[in-house]
Copies of this chain bind each other. A is one copy, B any other.
Amino acid sequence: MKSSQMKVSDIGEKQLIERIIEKSRTCSIHNPADFTDLDNKTSIGDDSALTNIDLKENSYLVSSSDMLIQSSHFPQDMTYFQMGYKSVVVNVSDLASMGADNIGFLLNIAIPKDTLIDDFDDLICGVIRACDDYHIPLIGGDTNEANEIILSGTAIGQVDKDKALMKYGFKEGDLVCITGELGLAALGFELLNMKQLLKNNLFEMVDLEDKINRAYEIDSTLCDMALFKALKPDARYNEGHILRELNTDENRITATDITDGLASEFYEILNSDKREYQFNINQPNNNQFNNDSNSSYSKGIRIYEDKLPVEDEFKEIANALGIDYLDLFLHVGEDFEFLFTMNKELKDQLENELNFYVIGEITEKNTVEIVLSNGTIEKISSKGYQHLK
């Protein structure tokens, strides 16, 4: 049987694991000497992965686990390589936004049994390529059968205790910043959805086709970039390391990766601030973690439309597609840029090391608001993306 016709059911679970081990040998970071040489031991194929780590004194073990499910997280146009790559990105992003150093990555894979071996290999190549890009060895996991592709990854790392980039710790007057342009991935998903609808003939095609064509006429490069960012996101690995170095007891930097939309992350960090306060005064109650807009916070966030890094072409394209560009910016995620806060005094120093945008500040008011270009002020609700709603 030709390799290109073979399905995963032709070789079974154990041989799939062997394929993963073999493929991982091709990558520099996955040289067996790097992660399997345990003083002349190997844990490949054993019940658990053993990792020879030099956990620094005064450091935390950092772990994060995220599951991606084909029908929820992978647009139909996503390649197997891109799915594999993204499964690493989402987890590394969570570690990076704590300022952590990577230790290892475990991946549980579920795939339909009629998946082609070639597609499985592409998926694994995506995983290993991302592991290489983010300097994190693939150390374990398993394979299973399901009726859609499910990739559940766990990233393990470590961070110095006094350098960890928490979500809380900001003070009134701190600058609210992001590491890059937001909304591109959101625009990409919109374009992918529209193209899919067009392909499936589900709606009036002429209108939809006109909209897409108009978007490409405005700026085809921007449209292509949006598609690329939706299909192959990157984690802000270096950014996490740069921010943590400036993070001190005197000048706390806080950070989180933007996965569910900027607005949702605003409420996340306000909740985190509140939770930390309640944790320290030791008054937990059942409602302490509510993140609805009725909650009262001891701080607030104000951002400015004019400070958002948005090109005019982006606004025009959103307009042509019938979408409010601020919705793309605020209420859709998957950009994996960082939202971070810092003391004003750090701004000049950080500008030498990192590209970032100051978009607002921490206020004493119990609200999240945006000052629009026309001068009016609007409240920002928390409606980021939530599964299961």
Contact = CB atoms under 8 A, between A and B. Distances in A.
Given A61-B53, A67-B142, A387 B12 contact: yes
A326 interface: no
A13 B108 contact: no
A25 B106 CA distance: 28
B389 A108 contact: no
Contacts of A296: none
A271 B13 contact: no
Nearest to A157: B48
A60 interface: yes
A25 B284 contact: yes
A367 interface: no
B289 A21 contact: yes
A379 to B, nearest CB: 19
A136 interface: no
A284 B31 CA distance: 12
A256 B21 CA distance: 20
Interface stretch (A145-153, A191-199, A225-233): A145-153
A246 interface: no
A50 B42 contact: no
A276 B106 CA distance: 22
A38 B161 contact: yes
A50 B64 CA distance: 9
A72 B9 contact: no
Nearest to A42: B279
A82 interface: no
A275 to B, nearest CB: 6
A144 B62 contact: no
Main secondary structure on A side of the interface with B: mixed
Given A45-B272, A50-B98, A388 B143 contact: yes
Given A275-B44, A279-B32, A387 B144 contact: yes
B44 A62 contact: no
Contacts of A291: 14
**Which of A41, A67, A166, A167: most chain B Cβ within 10 A?**
A67
**Which of A48, A98, A139: most chain B Cβ within 10 A?**
A48
Contact of A110 (B44, B62, B140, B150): B150
A166 B48 contact: no
A377 interface: no
Contacts of A108: 65-67, 152
Interface string A78-104: 000000000000000111011010011
A388 B13 contact: yes
Contact of A289 (B9, B39, B45, B268): B45
Given A14-B386, A69-B146, A143-B388, 16 more contacts: A12-B389, A13-B388, A38-B161, A40-B280, A41-B164, A41-B276, A45-B271, A45-B289, A47-B97, A47-B98, A48-B64, A48-B157, A49-B64, A50-B159, A61-B104, A150-B152
6 contacts: A32-B279, A38-B60, A47-B93, A69-B146, A143-B387, A152-B152
Q: Report the 8 A-B pairs with minimum CB-CB distance, sorted nearest first.
A: A152-B152, A67-B108, A48-B64, A12-B389, A65-B106, A50-B60, A154-B154, A55-B55
